[in-house]
Amino acid sequence: MKIMPRLVGASCAVVLATFAAPSAVAAPPEFERIEINETSEQEFLTEECGVSVIETAQGTITVRELEDPDGRLESVVNINVAVEVASEFGVVRGRFVQTEVVKSSPDGQVTLQSAGRVPGGFAGLLVIDLDSGEAIKEPQMQVGERQLESTCATLTGGDAN
């Protein structure tokens, strides 16, 4: 979905910016709440399903950043966004619920742990080494032809089987 990659990208950018310029002195935790309220054409589903599809996303992204007593930065990003894709024939609703945690270990390894459920994406836990970009743990994949067929059937007024 079009809005989902932007949400993931935005939350990862916030997390990476946190680690780009660490502070030498421990500071109190920082907290930011980002309201999401967007509506746009959903190009992928419009093309795949053959009908005009509009996507609406509403919810919040909450960012907490802190420095542990050893000076290592940690960041926690919580995403809770309701997503609706609609055509003139039907509506499909989902929820993007995800927690991303960035931690730096005593040996210097920095990891991103992303757990949750992303509509049209994955469900489970993804762990990435941010220095190498390598996935340490892959999530259970949720997307498949059957899910896309079911979504298109709803959006076109057809039968999902």
Specify if 30 maps to a domain: yes
Specify if 16 maps to a domain: yes
Query: Looking at the chain, which runs of residues are DSSP E strands?
Result: 30-41, 54-67, 73-86, 91-104, 110-117, 122-129, 135-137, 140-141
Specify if 136 maps to a domain: no
Specify if 43 maps to a domain: yes
What's the structural domain count of the chain?
A: 1
Q: Which domain holds residue 82?
A: 3-98+145-156
**Which of 42-51, 67-76, 110-119, 132-141 ranks highest by mean pLDDT?**
42-51
Q: What is the mean pLDDT of the chain?
A: 82
* Amino acid sitting at position 78: N
140-151 pLDDT tens trace:
765 666 788 899
Specify if 36 maps to a domain: yes
104-126 pLDDT tens trace:
888 888 999 999 887 777 778 88
Burial per residue of 56-87, b for 16 or more beta-carbon CB atoms within 10 angstroms, e otherwise = bbebebebebbbeeeebbbbbbbbbbebbbbb
Specify if 125 maps to a domain: no
Specify if 138 maps to a domain: no
Lowest mean pLDDT segment, chosen from 1-10, 71-80, 124-133: 1-10
